[in-house]
Structure 1
């Protein structure tokens, strides 16, 4: 089997999910070519696992100070290049196309009549999951941004729908974590504002991940440049996580048994919906705007929740190899029977 795998690279969550799938696909000896779009190649990091991958400009949303700027998004979009890439991408040499909400591979497969599997959190929004800031425009983006002939949405709970548990690395949770250590990952917020908010909270050690080129330590605040291994180490050592309301980091934190506080990006329906789902499930806490008082209250009162998820990536790969692509519901039911929460 030969697969073309498209990944929306705007945020690190899609790439993290692709890393998990890469390991599962490689373990079964499947040949895969990867395409990443939505971020310049020079801003990608720790990409060795994907071999000689391809980067396309694609389409992404511009976010400034925690809010989507729709004017800049439209102004900076190169629709001519996007259209050309969709129309000229050759998918005929592949048995199947997988898209993690990546538009070029999805549309190229659609126009070529090639089977395309949508694999990612966004595909869960076809079903009656918790939704916030829903609108006709948001629904159209979810439906048409990267359409697939078969889609597997992922979420923290099935909500009675045929969706999958999160695709994450399923390493065992650490036996102990530092209750005073907090991981902070707010890439869409103003860093100076974030640091000003946590600076008074001197009883905690904060590991802040940002696009800084060099690490630094300022009392109880440690600044870390982006890096997969260091991030995973800090995630395992901490007991609390403060992040935007993306899907993948919250999924990893839940699986490892971390306290979660999210601040959704304003104007993004997916993140607002994720925050709502975390609250409804009792899995995490959300704040509409950054607040030192809110963070302090959460650190002192919020419970730790752990949800043990199965190896979804390995199960998806076996499903692909079995060739029973007309029965995605069976895989969903099988996996949710193994989920446990504490």
Structure 2
């Protein structure tokens, strides 16, 4: 038996409205200002979505006069450092994938081992944070900074997409009940139990589980995404967040010599230029990727939130293949398909007929839709500043 997926009518509205209680609706950023603050912004380095979201929020918060110190590792840390921003490097706790499926127990063992080996990282973060004297820590699913903030008594808030699993009431087919329970357990273990507030960015809006404690905002979009002009080219952009051991997807593209593909984040096969002339393999590059995304005929990708959001904003037809064992991606795919925003292949890698069938149907899903052109940057900034305002009031009261 399948249960319907709950979705509020706000997912279809051309203008976003806050999904808190009406009394808690965020002001727009032009309504009021709080004094400039020092903020530690921490993010995980798993996938490109977190760094894209944090880049957008950094632009918005810095424009409001706030001073930021970043906490990140891996590619996300390098990206922020290349932008001239100060970054504290932290270890990257990655899950392991094989053939588009998370190796759950191996990942948990590796993460646990690395967390034990890097216990001293938190002491180093506390020292750096004390020098910076932050007013607030914002975490985008980064755990070392959370532990440092908790030991310091530093106010912290969460800002990510993953906590849509813990802070909203969604319904899914019964076959996913166990996956949903495990995902909530993991998220509640990693993220703080009682943050100042939780901001969840999403392209779909199920009812909040804890009204007043969380806010749903539309996708966070970098200025480059908002400003680029989309066009309908001839290539299909293909992206996989972790192609380790993946079998079949490159072969499916190769079996369609009539179609040009641009493939990001794949291990380039030997002699690919001669044996796969219809596939152009490119290394991850956030600006080059955006150009190829904006000019794509369609997108085939894993079901990460940021790429789905950017593709929808640019009016690109989507075929997603969620990572097995990552329920957040499963939920993204279910909502994408239910709202007829794109198509999804569940629990397997798309084959040539899947790709051909999707490309025959692209007109059903393409085109820029007014209801998908919302951008949550201003709402998120207003929410962060409202939290800063509460912190300022609490500090003033305690020193009065």
Verify same fold: TM over 0.5: yes
- Structure 1 length as normaliser, TM-score? 0.85
Q: Are residue 219 (structure 1) and residue 277 (structure 2) matched?
A: yes
Report the CA distance between 1:109 and its aligned residue: 1.9
**Partner in structure 1 of residue 216 of structure 2:** 163
What do residues 278-329 of structure 1 show as CA deviations (whole Å, max 9, x unaligned)?
Answer: 1122212110211221111111114224343334223322443455666xxx
- Structure 2 length as normaliser, TM-score? 0.73
Indicate how the Cα distance of structure 1 residues 31 and 46 shifts in structure 2: closer, same or farther if over 3 A, else same: closer
Determine if contact 1:68/1:268 at 8 Å carries over to the other structure. yes
Q: How many pairs align?
A: 324
**Partner in structure 1 of residue 162 of structure 2:** 122
Determine if contact 2:98/2:246 at 8 Å carries over to the other structure. no
Determine if contact 1:188/1:244 at 8 Å carries over to the other structure. no
Indicate how the Cα distance of structure 1 residues 212 and 31 shifts in structure 2: closer, same or farther if over 3 A, else same: farther
| Aligned counterparts of 1:285 and 1:74: Cα–Cα separation in 2 | 31
Indicate how the Cα distance of structure 1 residues 46 and 232 shifts in structure 2: closer, same or farther if over 3 A, else same: farther
Instruction: Give the 3-state SS of the residue equivalent to 2:191 in structure 1.
Output: coil
| Aligned counterparts of 1:173 and 1:281: Cα–Cα separation in 2 | 25
Which of structures 1 and 2 has the bigger CA Rg? 2
Determine if contact 1:46/1:228 at 8 Å carries over to the other structure. no
Instruction: Give the 3-state SS of the residue equivalent to 1:122 in structure 2.
Output: coil
Structure 1 residue corresponding to 2:89, chosen from 44, 50, 55: 55
Greater fraction strand: 1
Q: Are residue 316 (structure 1) and residue 316 (structure 2) matched?
A: no
Matches within 5 A, 1:25-104: 25-37=61-73, 39=74, 44-45=78-79, 47-49=81-83, 51-77=85-111, 78-86=114-122, 88-90=124-126, 91-92=129-130, 93-104=133-144
Q: Are residue 22 (structure 1) and residue 58 (structure 2) matched?
A: yes
**Partner in structure 2 of residue 297 of structure 1:** 357
Indicate how the Cα distance of structure 1 residues 40 and 256 shifts in structure 2: closer, same or farther if over 3 A, else same: closer
Structure 2 residue corresponding to 1:10, chosen from 14, 39, 46: 46
What do residues 213-243 of structure 1 show as CA deviations (whole Å, max 9, x unaligned)?
Answer: 9997542211111111110000000021111
Unpaired runs of at least 5, structure 1? 327-342
Report the CA distance between 1:124 and its aligned residue: 1.6
| Aligned counterparts of 1:168 and 1:160: Cα–Cα separation in 2 | 23
Farther off after superposition, 315-324 or 246-255 = 315-324
Report the CA distance between 1:156 and its aligned residue: 0.8
What do residues 44-77 of structure 1 show as CA deviations (whole Å, max 9, x unaligned)?
Answer: 5574125231221142211122111124313433
Q: Are residue 187 (structure 1) and residue 241 (structure 2) matched?
A: yes
Report the CA distance between 1:87 and its aligned residue: 5.1
Instruction: Give the 3-state SS of the residue equivalent to 1:223 in structure 2.
Output: strand
| Cα RMSD after superposing both structures | 2.8
Determine if contact 2:217/2:380 at 8 Å carries over to the other structure. no
Instruction: Give the 3-state SS of the residue equivalent to 2:226 in structure 1.
Output: coil
What do residues 7-30 of structure 1 show as CA deviations (whole Å, max 9, x unaligned)?
Answer: 010111111111111211222232
Q: Are residue 270 (structure 1) and residue 328 (structure 2) matched?
A: yes
| Aligned counterparts of 2:43 and 2:50: Cα–Cα separation in 1 | 6
Structure 1 residue corresponding to 2:300, chosen from 239, 242, 258: 242
| Aligned counterparts of 1:324 and 1:99: Cα–Cα separation in 2 | 15
Q: Are residue 152 (structure 1) and residue 199 (structure 2) matched?
A: yes
Unpaired runs of at least 5, structure 2? 1-36, 209-214, 391-400
Structure 1 residue corresponding to 2:341, chosen from 256, 273, 283: 283
**Partner in structure 2 of residue 335 of structure 1:** none
Determine if contact 2:230/2:294 at 8 Å carries over to the other structure. no
Indicate how the Cα distance of structure 1 residues 204 and 76 shifts in structure 2: closer, same or farther if over 3 A, else same: same
Report the CA distance between 1:159 and its aligned residue: 2.1
Matches within 5 A, 1:136-151: 136-147=181-192, 148-151=195-198
Instruction: Give the 3-state SS of the residue equivalent to 2:216 in structure 1.
Output: coil
Instruction: Give the 3-state SS of the residue equivalent to 1:171 in structure 2.
Output: helix
Indicate how the Cα distance of structure 1 residues 89 and 130 shifts in structure 2: closer, same or farther if over 3 A, else same: farther
Report the CA distance between 1:141 and its aligned residue: 1.0
